[in-house]
Amino acid sequence: MRRPTVLLTTVACLALFAASRLFAGEAMTYVYNAPESVHDTRYLYHWEILRTALEKTKDKYGPYRMVASELMTERRQAFELKHATGKLTVMYLSTVPDFETNLIPIRIPVDKNLGGYCVFLIRKENAPKFRGVQTLDDLRKFSYGLGLGWIDVDVLKSNNFMVVTGSSYEGLFEMTSAGRFDVFLRAAVEVLDEYQERKDRFADLAIEETICLYYPLPMYFWFSKTEQGRALQKRAEEGMWMMIKDGTYDKIFNTYQRWKIERLRLKERKLFKIENPFLGPETPFEDKRLWFDPQTYK
């Protein structure tokens, strides 16, 4: 007759142990890819979005840590996440079929797809060549520099653009300066910071002023298909939706991006659109809160 008492005592102890772990506040750890160089400022905004989402959920989930990993290529990042090695626990990249199958996304475009609006980093002496562009076929006469393994390479090639790839991010600026291709295709979220950081070293480069090439390229936070990955994804997603609903998301977007949108005059540029054949049916096009549009942005 004493077994139930022992059982109840054991259950109670286990419950207390679980509660003690919860209230001890073990930090949920988000390991993200480190910048590629001291001049690489491309992802400051994106990690600020994640950090704010985690702050919003501290009352429910407790403390968190964001830890920079060793430097990884995009291909390496995907490998570490798919194999759940722990060397990376969150990745910021665009959607591709492989990721949709093997990873878990937060299906909120982190930069509202502002990164899908691309401008051209070019040699100054070539600027006159772009002023007469009127059609996509005109644009296809130029060659475009992109990083090896970037999804943009496949998007452009599928739309019959000539692409030259470089093996390193910093090396692409050197290749642009050396005339290895006509255009280093840069996202509107990136190009101004990149140019400012390098204009003294590459005095022959300039941002082309009249053209914007657009394709839908939703960039998501991705997580491993494991119990830990699902837990990390769930918390971050809840926080991001909280931010969207209370206006925090728009506030951070405006803080980081408004000056870029205005400085690049995106609303006034000639806009050329191409398709991204790698998008899945789950892409949340119907929710207009999640997508930047230069014509409606205020």
Instruction: Give, as one character, the DSSP assignment of residue 253.
Output: H
Around Cβ 283, how many Cβ atoms within 10 Å? Answer: 17
Task: Output 150-154 pairs: Cβ under 8 A, ≥24 positions apart.
Answer: 150/74, 151/93, 151/94, 151/96, 151/217, 151/278, 152/185, 152/217, 154/278
Residue 92 · residue 218 · CB < 8 Å:
no
We report the CATH number of the domain holding residue 224 as: 3.40.190.10
**Per-residue confidence (pLDDT) for residue 118, from 0 to 100:** 98
Query: Looking at the structure, do residues 209 and 240 belong to the same domain, yes or no?
Result: no
The mean pLDDT of the chain is: 90
Q: Is residue 35 part of a domain?
A: yes
Q: Is residue 282 part of a domain?
A: no
Alpha-carbon distance of 42 to 226, in angstroms, equals: 28
State the total domains in the chain. Answer: 2
Listed residues 151, 179, 214: the one ending a domain:
214
Query: Looking at the structure, do residues 208 and 247 belong to the same domain, yes or no?
Result: no
Query: Looking at the structure, do residues 181 and 100 belong to the same domain, yes or no?
Result: no
Picking from 104, 65, 117, 108, the residue whose alpha carbon sits closest to that of residue 267 is 117
Query: Looking at the structure, do residues 162 and 209 belong to the same domain, yes or no?
Result: yes
Q: Is residue 268 part of a domain?
A: no
All residue ranges of the chain with pLDDT < 70 are: 1-25, 37-39
Alpha-carbon distance of 278 to 130, in angstroms, equals: 28
Buried residues in 6-40 as b, exposed as e (16+ CB within 10 A) = eeeeeeeeeeeeeeeeeeeeeebebbbbeebeebb
Query: Looking at the structure, do residues 92 and 228 belong to the same domain, yes or no?
Result: yes
Q: Is residue 142 part of a domain?
A: yes
pTM of the entire predicted model:
0.83
Around Cβ 125, how many Cβ atoms within 10 Å? Answer: 10
Q: Is residue 95 part of a domain?
A: yes
Tokens of 259: 């000056």
Query: Looking at the structure, do residues 61 and 198 belong to the same domain, yes or no?
Result: no
Query: Looking at the structure, do residues 128 and 206 belong to the same domain, yes or no?
Result: yes
Query: Looking at the structure, do residues 38 and 181 belong to the same domain, yes or no?
Result: no
Alpha-carbon distance of 241 to 245, in angstroms, equals: 6
Q: Is residue 7 part of a domain?
A: no
Query: Looking at the structure, do residues 88 and 234 belong to the same domain, yes or no?
Result: yes
Domain that holds residue 43: 26-111+218-263
Q: Is residue 133 part of a domain?
A: yes
Picking from 198, 189, 187, the residue whose alpha carbon sits closest to that of residue 256 is 189
Q: Which residues pair with 183 in a beta bridge?
A: 144
Q: Is residue 8 part of a domain?
A: no
Tokens of 115: 């990164």
Query: Looking at the structure, do residues 99 and 229 belong to the same domain, yes or no?
Result: yes
**Per-residue confidence (pLDDT) for residue 26, from 0 to 100:** 84
Query: Looking at the structure, do residues 130 and 159 belong to the same domain, yes or no?
Result: yes
**Per-residue confidence (pLDDT) for residue 280, from 0 to 100:** 86
- The alpha-helical segments, DSSP class H, found in 74-116 are 74-82, 97-102
Q: Would you call 128 exposed, middle or buried from its count of C-beta atoms within 10 A (0-12, 13-18, 19+)?
A: exposed
Query: Looking at the structure, do residues 209 and 66 belong to the same domain, yes or no?
Result: no
